[in-house]
A and B are shown apart, each in its own frame.
Chain A
Amino acid sequence: TQLLEQSPQFLSIQEGENLTVYCNSSSVFSSLQWYRQEPGEGPVLLVTVVTGGEVKKLKRLTFQFGDARKDSSLHITAAQPGDTGLYLCAGADYGGSQGNLIFGKGTKLSVKP
């Protein structure tokens, strides 16, 4: 069974701080996605990484896919209260059913003004 472990589970920081959250697995994924979910809403896709070692930047967010395609990280620079939410990573099963995303449990981020 493929599992994605996210850490930390909870993170509470002050506005302006930097942070990194991690997504790790013992399995290889063909692609990995990061989502943000707010209370009462469905997850919203932030980025998809496909190539081992790939780095993508989205404004203050930097996403990295590990060389072996087993892990990923999300770094947020100068966090703002609007970044508060649940950050989920999800992997597409390498060689498995198309569309079958395997999600981690998420990192719940709270950014205080």
Chain B
Amino acid sequence: GAGVSQTPSNKVTEKGKYVELRCDPISGHTALYWYRQSLGQGPEFLIYFQGTGAADDSGLPNDRFFAVRPEGSVSTLKIQRTERGDSAVYLCASSLSGGDAETQYFGPGTRLLVL
């Protein structure tokens, strides 16, 4: 079956602009996660959805970052007033039900470059 897909694969924007990053999880997976990976670093947790609701958004760096999952499937990560420091690979992952030893399946990521 299809894995996790993310669009766009690359996004170049100017400082101060608004961007939306999309994640399509594996069908039937109720848990969805967003991570951010900066160059030379491991992924950093941003937010975790269980169904339509954000179960844990403690990783969002500030109020410029927001994510939604209105129908419990596709999720969109939204970044307002982008800054150069937001440049990174944004990874999405999904898992069947969200248990802590459960396999998270990652998408290929969206590479965001803020000029």
Contacts and interface: CB of A to CB of B under 8 A. Distances in A.
Interface of A: 4, 6, 30-31, 40-45, 48, 50, 88, 90, 92-93, 97-106
Contacts, number: 75
Interface stretch (B13-21, B64-72, B91-99): B91-99
A93 B108 CA distance: 24
Nearest to B45: A100
A99 B101 CA distance: 8
Name the interface size band of chain B. Answer: 20 to 34
Interface of B: 4, 31, 33, 35, 40-45, 48, 55-56, 58-59, 91, 93, 95, 98-109
A11 B35 CA distance: 25
Contacts of A101: 33, 35, 43, 45, 104
Given A30-B100, A48-B101, A99-B100, A105 B106 contact: no
B101 A92 contact: yes
Contacts of B106: 42-44
B39 to A, nearest CB: 11
A42 B98 contact: no
B67 to A, nearest CB: 14
A100 B60 CA distance: 12
Nearest to B91: A42
B93 to A, nearest CB: 7
A106 B42 CA distance: 6
Contacts of B93: 42
A99 B42 contact: no
Given A97-B48, A105-B40, A105-B41, 20 more contacts: A30-B101, A42-B108, A43-B43, A48-B103, A90-B43, A92-B101, A93-B100, A97-B56, A98-B48, A98-B98, A98-B99, A99-B33, A99-B98, A99-B100, A100-B56, A100-B58, A101-B33, A101-B45, A102-B45, A103-B44
